[in-house]
Amino acid sequence: MIGSVRPQVDGGRYAAKATVGRDVVVRADVFVDGHDRVGAMLRWQADGESWRDVPMEPLGNDRWGASFMPERPGLHRFKVTGWVDAFATWHSELVRRLAAGEDLAVELQVGATLVASAAKRASGQDRTRLKEWAARLADAAPDEQAELATAEGLTALMARWPDRARNAATSGGSPIWVDRERAASSAWYELFPRSASPVPGRHGTLHDVAALVPSLAELGFDVLYLPPIHPIGRTARKGPNNAPISSADDVGSPWAIGSEDGGHTVVHPDLGTVDDVELLVEELGTHGMELALDVAFQCSPDHPWVSEHPDWFRHRPDGSIRYAENPPKRYEDVYPLNFETDDWRSLWDALLGVVTFWMGRGVRIFRVDNPHTKPFAFWEWLIDKVRAIDPGVLFLSEAFTRPRVMEHLAKIGFTQSYTYFAWRTDPEALRDYLTELTTAPLVDYLRPSLWPNTPDILTEELQRGGAAAFRARFLLAATLGANYGIYGPAFEHVEHEPREAGSEEYLHSEKYEVRWRDLTSAAGMRELIRRVNATRHAHPALQQDASLTFHRTDNPMILAYSKRDARSGDVVLVVVGMDHRYPQSGWTDLEMPALGLAWESPFTVVDDLDGSTYTWRGPRNFVRLDPTHAPGHLFHIEPPGLAGATA
């Protein structure tokens, strides 16, 4: 019997997620009735390639494990095969007979037959050696019986040539989608290009954005994300602070896409041209960064599709087109698309054409606006089509919606997912939520991207907590998650004023206005960002989520957690103060095995935020955190014996 196979999503209906160059750890229960011993093999393949075999090792309690490392992006599959291992069964019984002092002559004859059969399956030098072993077992003298019964060399040799025919079983093929490295670990920076001008009062351009790239790279970001860069409609254009009436000078919302200048494959004339997008992609590439563009499948009333394809939109009984609503919010400047139109095939093809158009300009990352408001079947189709062209294209799902909907979008192919991280402010709630995200089943298919703020989300914690809250939430996002992002300019400048009490909308929101900021005024936050991102790049432990472990403290306002990279042994330990007003102190209760350390061993922790070094011993260690000084400690752990100065 084979069961409880992992990683597997809905019994293999959807693909689990993996990353090029990282081990895919496979686990399965393999067992049989009675007392026979079993063997197990992991079989895996990249799509279109031959199957490769990896022996599985027993983990105890009928659980078996093995791993493989995919070498390229794309679809992969694996199976688990199990069988009754006649030789292992014989050998275990032989050892017991030896301990009981029984005559082994007959049993050695049985073993000789098993080994002779293995010799027929073997090749090369192994075949010769197995034939020799079969002869020794068949003709064993009494004084050789004990030696032959416990020979480790024979056991290892037989394990290489098992007889898989007896009571063999194979699990169903389990699909795994393998992404490139950036899918698993990335730091995103969001900005509005129209606010990127170095000159107050001038509309920013894509050339201005390109000029900012070196500074963003120096801060350690991997992805620059731009909200929609397309022409903005004039009809029902929103004014400042989402006012329903605008003046001729108001720039409107970038998500009201389309005007007489064009639609989703055109750049707003004030920003530049499509060629400027390609130049920005090139500039980012020279700094090891990538461009992410917003995919917002909706239209302003002035979009060319409204007149060319009126049936792609929903109509009221009076014939007018229905604008977008999310009561009590009204978006009179946006028309949703009607995915139930009779002409749905043409609509789907047009939307796929938008994505492939920008792919043709070098864009390989897309942040998708409100995917939960479009059919699942559409996204599954579109992502499959895009992957057939370029399996390295990544999609971030901006779906702040019900958990099962968010999870299903991840199952059908979205590479990364926004989460509820911004609203998990209670230490216990945050710990429970991140544990859920980083353990089975979610860890097998949903890659969380943690954002403390977005242009739509200014939480009450950030509104009230001051700069200390911004620092703490940044440290949490960038270390709890291998993927995270910030709405950068607003975050760096600690912008915290809501449009009105009880709102999560920013006052003077950049969604409706051009904003200019003095970058030099954000020096303190930028230095924290630079240090944390440098640590993320330097430590593999922070580039994955599966090893996240929370550690107990005797103060509930101190959150402690670690990550450990199994391959390198790299360990990072983070201690964060959850009180943004007052200093907090307490004792840790570390799970030392999670750090790769013995329970009472000494070890050195180096704080990458300020360079301080401490020598600790065992699980209990004292910490004191002052929110006016630093949000917490970002320790990397040096191996025992490399202890530096004690602080």
Burial of 13 (0-12, 13-18, 19+ CB in 10 A): exposed
What span, in angstroms and rounded, lies between the C-alpha atoms of 412 and 228?
24
Residue 35: what residue type?
H
Structure tokens at 203: 């509309």
Contact 485, 449 (CB under 8 A): yes
Contact 364, 290 (CB under 8 A): yes
Q: Which one from 107, 369, 444, 495 is the annotated catalytic residue?
A: 369
The alpha carbon dihedral of 242, 198, 457, 180 has a sign of positive
What span, in angstroms and rounded, lies between the C-alpha atoms of 300 and 536?
40
Q: C-alpha angle with apex 322: 319 to 325, nearest 5 degrees?
A: 160
Full 3-state SS string of 471-490? HHHHHHHHHHCCEEEEEHHH
What span, in angstroms and rounded, lies between the C-alpha atoms of 228 and 264?
9
Task: Give yes or no: 179 in active site.
Answer: no
Q: C-alpha angle with apex 91: 88 to 94, nearest 5 degrees?
A: 155
Q: In 3-state terms, what secondary structure has residue 610?
A: coil
Length of the chain: 647
Q: In 3-state terms, what secondary structure has residue 95?
A: helix
Report which of 493, 490, 511, 423 is spatially closest to residue 460, judged by C-alpha positions: 423
Count of alpha carbons within 13 Å of 604, Cβ hemisphere only? 15
Q: C-alpha angle with apex 451: 447 to 453, nearest 5 degrees?
A: 160
- CA 193 to chain CA mean position, Å: 27
Question: Regarding beta strands 483-487 and 448-450, do their DSSP bridges make them parallel or antiparallel, or are they unpaired?
Answer: parallel
Contact 435, 419 (CB under 8 A): no
Contact 151, 110 (CB under 8 A): no
Task: Give yes or no: 398 in active site.
Answer: yes
What span, in angstroms and rounded, lies between the C-alpha atoms of 104 and 114?
15
Contact 485, 188 (CB under 8 A): yes
* Crossing angle of the two packed helices 376-389 and 403-411, in degrees rounded to 10: 30
Q: Which one from 85, 222, 398, 607 is the annotated catalytic residue?
A: 398
What span, in angstroms and rounded, lies between the C-alpha atoms of 487 and 191?
6
Contact 384, 350 (CB under 8 A): no
Residues 6+ apart with CB under 8 A from 285: none
Q: Which whole-number Å values give the CA distances from 164 to 64, 85, 265, 502, in the listed order? A: 16, 7, 57, 66
Which residue in the block uniquely carries the two structure tokens 């939307």? 351
What span, in angstroms and rounded, lies between the C-alpha atoms of 599 and 591?
8
- Active-site residues: which are they? 369, 398
